[in-house]
């Protein structure tokens, strides 16, 4: 039975009277943590506290753990808890007077020292620091209660497949109307259903399904949580979390735990088919259909409670394994006992015999409980049949005696066919040791006497006493004296007779009478006739040994009188068949120990050389190029150019899309060429030395390799291999491909400067979309005004260090209205920009997306990198106005577009289902980016903003890639949709928390004397004495931040808009 067992039970309660985890600055608050050991042995545990976000980091300095009976004494870890005992620990927070008010979130983690594979127990908690002047108002937080209540010692009992209702009482203590939603983030949707009462704000008489609990200020309400776990859920303890979400304050975390125990269900259904069956003397079978309707795996073993001693009851299988909801069939065979069948002769009437099916040693069912019952009707025989059988027996014995005397005793026994000779010839090496290689052909000699009486000859190959091959040859009888039959027999498995008299031996030899084998030019068998004995003589009869191991060849002769039992059988001695030899790589090296790039050859050619034994058994070569830190350069697979491969050439394995014939030519791809060397000696037995060849193979990277450090690893995949065989693998030492040596140092690159930044015109006028109005406007507009959009001109010198150019537009209120980033490569693609090599950038008439009337100010922000620091230079334009269009006849008002967020997903998962995502990061592995996707109903006045970065995004954009920092922390990403006309807005948020899973370093390296003298540390290549580019990710380059050697720096730049998702 699968059960969920929690060896450690954790209960957290507040020692304060208010029990709401609130504290004033300068006070002390405590939580009581009760840990109970449910094991039968002592355990050692560690307990610590982890903050959720950066705001909650001060909790690590405020907290301290104490034992209940050891006041003012820090807790010593690990903590030992004896079996079946509990321990109380106080978690104290000493909040300083200068603490910032707000909500601090943290998790309490408890882990067993002896069970490192099991994840720690995590209990989310929160602490609210109040303002000193509004302490009374802090009690406006909503509260909710569960009825019935439960705890770890008294959980709610529930059977699988049934439902349980839990009343949720919610009290709105705020001064605003609020809507509350209930969810269980730890459970699937099929586990629970939330039922909300009808909202009081719905107009009377209107029936509408509600999806939340609407409460007025200071009002209480009730909703129902219905738990209905699946029918076949495993039995055990479950601890789902119930979360109450406030629409007014979505960041408020209100949690409670339901302690639930799913009871085991041992329901088992057994149906026997047929229920009643007649039986005489033959065996009868009953079919049992067994169905496990419980919620745990069962091993079922049946037994029969028989009420008689006449029949034997046998199950085809002793026991069966059943998973929940699994059905299977079992066969019960019933047969009369060996010495009880004669009782049926004395039965004047048929007898009904019942038997019961029970489970053997089952702890879920009572021993006397019967699962199913079957009935046997034993059919009786008539009395006269008994005497008839006796009479028939005496008559049969007499007839048999007369037949034996007339056939066998009255005349001599005729000769019978037999196999007179069966021997194996020497193998191809001239040795007679019955040792061959897999796939070889063995020949042997055999003779058969009295061929006229043979109907069929069968050849059987045995491997470890198991038959692996059978071949039958049928012998047809032909009259030798008939001349018509001489020309009829020309097909397979027939004999063509041609008598030739031999004067020396005085016998007839039928030299053209051959056993036809289509695959051989010279037939190995012929027939000799000596007097009345026709002898089949076969010399060099071939048999292919297809399987390795101990093989035996058996010949069976069958006559026409008995085609099932052979009249004679002969076996050969055991033939040892060796498996295919495994290829061996004896060496792997390059033509040079190191390589150096030059101006004429930036990528030097590298040639790999190795020796391989048993090349004919190579299926493919796998070549892997690694870096010294075991990261991958590239990996290639080489296969033979053809099945026969006479020239021993291997090419790169073609991809699935490569179907052209030219793609498989050696000259069109990188090629391995192998040449034969001398025969290998002293590595194999003498009988196999002539079969094994040593080949020298080479592979040349004709296009060269990039300068770097390489470790080449070569492995061989054989065509056939045994169970215990190992693949041949060889590695080279580190091969260095040095880059081109640096030339004289270049002069320092100057920083960029903004020479000019302006607009193409000083005044614009908004254009009306209507054609007639636009004509009227063009006639009445001034000659100085220009239709939008606003176009910009700028000139920037020294663009070598520029990382990004961003145009920012501010409205008359100074708020961000529009922005667009450019890279130097983007500007090179614009026809309105001229980018000189390593010099100036000159752009004229670059359009913006601003067309509406208003006053705007533009900033040109140039971000560049000087050494290890990012800097910005900014230049602004004066206010540029777009005049409104001339007044026109007012049109009927259009209702504003409602704000609606269709979905907000993180990596394809809805953010509302999982508002908090925890991502594990490693300091040495860059985590993959997360993909944000959303959909907002489009409208004329709808704007979409993604916070904290990049801010406003185009309404048609629906995705954004955000990199993940390798340092632990938490960040809240908010999607905000707003109607600029009505001010209506909707927000959805998700918290991204990164947790460092890098194991701690065991040995602290000693300081390098060179780094103390100001020299770069050469013990760690790739890290210079100054801060590297990866360590320059602070937003404020002038502020000095303390460095942590065990953490990776944060991201250098904020996430950028995905250029592929623009219109």
Q: How many whole angstroms separate alpha carbon 669 and alpha carbon 663?
A: 8
Which of 8-12, 595-599, 659-663 shows the lowest per-residue confidence on average (mean pLDDT)? 659-663
Question: Percent of the chain at pLDDT above 70?
Answer: 75
Q: pTM score, two decimals?
A: 0.30
Which of 486-495, 577-586, 606-615 shows the lowest per-residue confidence on average (mean pLDDT)? 486-495
C-alpha pair distances (Å), 696 with each of 102, 593, 642 = 74, 19, 19
Picking from 883, 904, 939, the residue at the C-terminal end of a domain is 883
One domain, residues 714 and 566: no
What H or E segment, with its residue span, contains residue 29?
strand 28-37
Q: For residue 1001, what are its two tokens?
A: 């370093």
C-alpha pair distances (Å), 880 with each of 500, 786, 845 = 123, 12, 15
Q: How many whole angstroms separate alpha carbon 418 and alpha carbon 454?
A: 9
Domain boundaries, position 236: 141-265
Residue 877 has pLDDT above 60, yes or no: yes
Q: What is the mean pLDDT of the chain?
A: 77
Q: For residue 813, what are its two tokens?
A: 């209120």
One domain, residues 437 and 551: yes
Picking from 524, 550, 578, the residue at the C-terminal end of a domain is 578
One domain, residues 432 and 515: yes
- For the domain that residue 791 is a member of, what is the CATH number? 2.60.40
Is residue 408 situated within a structural domain? no
Picking from 138, 171, 193, the residue at the C-terminal end of a domain is 138
pLDDT digits (tens, 9 = 90+) for 819-834: 999 998 888 888 889 8
Structure confidence at residue 244 as a pLDDT band (50, 70, 90): very high
pLDDT at 666: 43
Question: Three-state DSSP class for 773?
Answer: helix
Is residue 1011 situated within a structural domain? no
Is residue 168 situated within a structural domain? yes
Q: For residue 288, what are its two tokens?
A: 């049992």
Residue 1032 has pLDDT above 50, yes or no: no
What HEC string does 95-119 produce?
A: CCCCCCCEEEEEEEEEEECCCCCCC
Mean pLDDT along residues 352-369 = 68
**Contact present, 101 and 43 (Cβ < 8 Å):** no
One domain, residues 557 and 640: no
One domain, residues 303 and 360: yes
- For the domain that residue 372 is a member of, what is the CATH number? 2.60.40.2310
Q: 339 Cβ partners below 8 Å, 6+ apart?
A: none
One domain, residues 181 and 60: no
Report CA Rg, the chain: 46
- For the domain that residue 34 is a member of, what is the CATH number? 2.60.40.3880
Question: Percent of the chain at pLDDT above 90?
Answer: 15
pLDDT at 353: 80
Q: 707 Cβ partners below 8 Å, 6+ apart?
A: 597, 603, 737, 738, 739, 740
Question: Three-state DSSP class for 771?
Answer: helix
pLDDT digits (tens, 9 = 90+) for 142-201: 889 999 888 888 899 998 889 999 999 999 988 888 999 999 998 888 999 999 988 665
Mean pLDDT along residues 287-303 = 85
- E strands in 641-692: 649-652, 671-679
Number of domains in the chain: 7
Is residue 481 situated within a structural domain? yes
Bigger pLDDT: 332 vs 956 = 332
Mean pLDDT along residues 548-563 = 88
Bigger pLDDT: 219 vs 307 = 219
Token pair 């003298």 is at which residue? 1013
**Contact present, 618 and 641 (Cβ < 8 Å):** no
Q: How many whole angstroms separate alpha carbon 103 and alpha carbon 251?
A: 10
- For the domain that residue 460 is a member of, what is the CATH number? 2.60.40.2550
- For the domain that residue 674 is a member of, what is the CATH number? 2.60.40.10
Is residue 327 situated within a structural domain? yes
pLDDT digits (tens, 9 = 90+) for 641-678: 776 666 677 788 776 544 444 433 444 567 888 888 76
Write the burial class of residue 790 (CB in 10 Å: 0-12 exposed, 13-18 middle, 19+ buried).
buried
Pairing between strand 594-596 and 735-738?
parallel
Structure confidence at residue 278 as a pLDDT band (50, 70, 90): confident
Mean pLDDT along residues 53-64 = 90
pLDDT at 620: 87
- E strands in 450-564: 454-463, 466-474, 500-502, 507-510, 525-530, 533-544, 549-559
One domain, residues 92 and 180: no
Q: How many whole angstroms separate alpha carbon 2 and alpha carbon 414?
A: 73
One domain, residues 822 and 962: no
One domain, residues 647 and 775: no
Which of 753-757, 854-858, 1002-1006, 1020-1024 shows the lowest per-residue confidence on average (mean pLDDT)? 1020-1024
Is residue 1021 situated within a structural domain? no
pLDDT at 343: 63
Question: Three-state DSSP class for 1057?
Answer: coil
pLDDT digits (tens, 9 = 90+) for 779-804: 444 445 678 889 999 999 988 889 99
**Contact present, 237 and 259 (Cβ < 8 Å):** yes
pLDDT at 821: 93
Bigger pLDDT: 152 vs 771 = 152
Q: How many whole angstroms separate alpha carbon 887 and alpha carbon 226?
A: 61
One domain, residues 132 and 120: yes
Bigger pLDDT: 69 vs 505 = 69
pLDDT at 1042: 43
Q: How many whole angstroms separate alpha carbon 497 and alpha carbon 81?
A: 97
One domain, residues 847 and 904: no
Is residue 1009 situated within a structural domain? no
Quote the longest CA-to-CA distance of the chain: 143
Is residue 386 situated within a structural domain? no
Mean pLDDT along residues 324-332 = 86
One domain, residues 203 and 59: no
Q: 42 Cβ partners below 8 Å, 6+ apart?
A: 80, 81, 82, 83
Q: For residue 796, what are its two tokens?
A: 């920037």
Across-strand partners of 46? 111
């Amino acid at each position: 039975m699968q059960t969920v067992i929690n060896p450690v039970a954790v209960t957290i309660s507040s020692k304060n009277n208010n029990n709401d985890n609130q504290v004033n600055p300068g006070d002390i608050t405590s939580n009581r943590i009760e840990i109970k050991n449910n094991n039968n042995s002592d355990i050692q545990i560690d307990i610590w506290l982890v903050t959720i976000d950066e705001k909650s980091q001060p909790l690590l300095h405020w907290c301290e753990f104490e034992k209940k009976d050891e006041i003012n004494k820090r807790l010593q870890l690990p903590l030992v808890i004896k079996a079946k005992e509990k321990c109380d620990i106080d978690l104290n927070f000493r909040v300083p007077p200068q603490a910032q008010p707000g909500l601090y979130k943290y998790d309490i983690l408890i882990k067993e020292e002896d069970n490192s594979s099991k994840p720690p127990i995590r209990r989310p908690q929160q602490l609210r620091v109040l303002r000193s002047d509004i302490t009374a108002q802090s009690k406006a937080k909503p509260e909710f209660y569960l009825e019935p209540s439960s705890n770890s010692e008294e959980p709610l009992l529930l059977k699988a497949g049934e439902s349980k209702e839990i009343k949720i009482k919610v009290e709105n203590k705020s001064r605003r109307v609020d809507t509350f939603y209930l969810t269980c983030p730890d459970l699937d949707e099929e586990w629970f259903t939330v039922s909300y009462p009808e909202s009081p704000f719905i107009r009377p008489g209107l029936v509408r399904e509600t999806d939340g609990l609407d409460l007025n200020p200071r009002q209480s309400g009730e909703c129902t949580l219905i738990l209905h776990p699946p029918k076949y859920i495993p039995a055990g303890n479950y601890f789902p979390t119930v979360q109450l979400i406030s629409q007014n304050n979505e960041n408020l975390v209100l949690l409670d735990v339901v302690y639930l125990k799913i009871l085991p269900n041992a329901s088992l259904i057994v149906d026997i088919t047929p229920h009643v069956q007649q039986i005489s003397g033959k065996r009868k079978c009953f079919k049992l259909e067994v169905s496990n309707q419980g919620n745990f795996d069962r091993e079922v073993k049946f037994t029969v409670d028989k009420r008689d001693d006449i029949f034997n009851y046998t199950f085809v299988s002793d026991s069966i394994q059943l998973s929940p909801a699994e059905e299977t069939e079992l066969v019960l065979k019933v047969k009369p006992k060996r010495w009880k069948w004669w009782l049926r002769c004395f039965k004047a009437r048929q007898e009904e015999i019942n038997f019961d099916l029970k489970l053997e040693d089952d702890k879920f069912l009572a021993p006397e409980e019967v699962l199913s019952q079957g009935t046997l009707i034993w059919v009786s025989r008539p009395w006269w049949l008994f005497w008839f059988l006796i009479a028939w027996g005496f008559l049969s014995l007499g007839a048999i005696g007369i037949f034996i005397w007339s056939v066998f005793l009255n005349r001599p026994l005729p000769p019978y066919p037999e196999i007179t000779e069966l021997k194996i010839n020497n193998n191809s090496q001239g040795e007679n040791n019955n040792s061959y290689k897999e796939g070889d052909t063995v020949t042997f000699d055999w003779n058969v006497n009295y061929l006229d009486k043979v109907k069929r000859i069968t050849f059987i190959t045995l491997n470890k006493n198991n038959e692996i091959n059978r071949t039958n040859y049928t012998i047809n009888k032909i009259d030798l004296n008939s001349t018509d039959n001489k020309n009829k027999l020309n097909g397979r498995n027939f004999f063509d007779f041609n008598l030739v008299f031999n004067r020396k031996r005085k016998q007839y030899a039928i030299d053209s009478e051959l056993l036809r084998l289509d695959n051989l030019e010279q037939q190995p068998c012929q027939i000799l006739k000596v007097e009345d004995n026709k002898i089949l003589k076969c010399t060099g009869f071939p048999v292919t040994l297809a399987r390795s191991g101990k093989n035996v060849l058996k010949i069976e002769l069958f006559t026409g009188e008995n085609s099932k039992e052979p009249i004679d059988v002969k076996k050969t001695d055991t033939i040892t068949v060796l498996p295919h030899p495994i290829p061996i790589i004896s060496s792997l090296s390059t033509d040079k120990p190191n390589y150096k790039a030059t101006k004429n050859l930036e990528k030097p050619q590298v040639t790999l050389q190795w020796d391989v034994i048993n090349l004919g058994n190579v299926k493919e070569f796998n070549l892997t190029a690694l870096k010294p830190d075991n990261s991958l350069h590239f990996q290639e697979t080489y296969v033979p150019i053809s099945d026969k491969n006479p020239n021993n050439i291997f090419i790169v394995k073609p991809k699935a899309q490569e179907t052209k014939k030219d793609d498989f030519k050696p000259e069109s791809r990188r090629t391995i060429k192998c040449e034969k060397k001398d025969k290998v000696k002293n590595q194999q037995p003498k009988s196999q030395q002539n079969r094994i060849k040593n080949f020298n193979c080479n592979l040349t990277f004709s296009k060269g390799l990039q300068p770097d450090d390489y470790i080449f690893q070569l492995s061989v995949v054989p065509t056939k291999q045994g169970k215990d065989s190992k693949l041949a693998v060889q590695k080279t030492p580190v091969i260095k491909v040095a880059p081109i040596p640096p030339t004289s140092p270049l002069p320092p690159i100057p920083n960029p400067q903004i020479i000019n930044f302006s607009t193409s015109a000083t005044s614009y006028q908004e254009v009306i979309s209507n054609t007639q109005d636009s004509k009227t406007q063009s006639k009445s507009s001034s000659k100085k005004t220009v239709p939008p959009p606003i176009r910009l001109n700028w000139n920037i010198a020294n663009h070598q260090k520029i990382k990004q150019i961003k145009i920012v537009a501010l409205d008359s209120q100074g708020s961000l209205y529009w922005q667009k980033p450019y890279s130097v490569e983007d500007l090179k693609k614009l026809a309105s920009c001229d980018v000189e090599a390593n010099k100036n950038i000159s752009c004229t008439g670059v359009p913006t997306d601003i067309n509406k009337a208003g006053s705007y100010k533009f900033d040109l922000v140039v971000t560049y990198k000087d050494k290890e620091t990012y800097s910005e230079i900014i230049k602004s334009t004066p206010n540029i106005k777009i005049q409104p269009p001339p007044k026109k006849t007012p049109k009927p008002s259009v209702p504003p577009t409602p704000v609606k967020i269709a979905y907000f997903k993180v990596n394809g998962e809805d953010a509302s289902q999982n508002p908090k995502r925890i991502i594990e990061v490693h300091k040495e592995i860059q985590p993959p980016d997360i993909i944000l996707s959303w959909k907002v109903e489009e409208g004329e006045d709808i704007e979409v903003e993604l916070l904290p970065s990049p801010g406003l995004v185009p309404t048609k954009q629906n995705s954004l890639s955000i990199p993940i920092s390798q340092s632990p922390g938490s960040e809240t990403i908010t999607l905000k949709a707003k109607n600029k006309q009505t001010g209506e807005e909707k927000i959805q948020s998700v918290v991204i928390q990164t947790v460092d899973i890098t194991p701690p370093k065991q040995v602290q390296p000693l300081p390098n004397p060179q780094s103390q003298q100001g020299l770069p540390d050469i013990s760690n290549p790739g890290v210079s004495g100054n801060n590297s580019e990866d360590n320059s990710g602070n937003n404020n380059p002038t502020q000095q931040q303390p460095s942590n050697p065990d953490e990776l720096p944060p991201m250098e730049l904020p996430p950028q808009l995905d250029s592929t998702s623009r219109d």
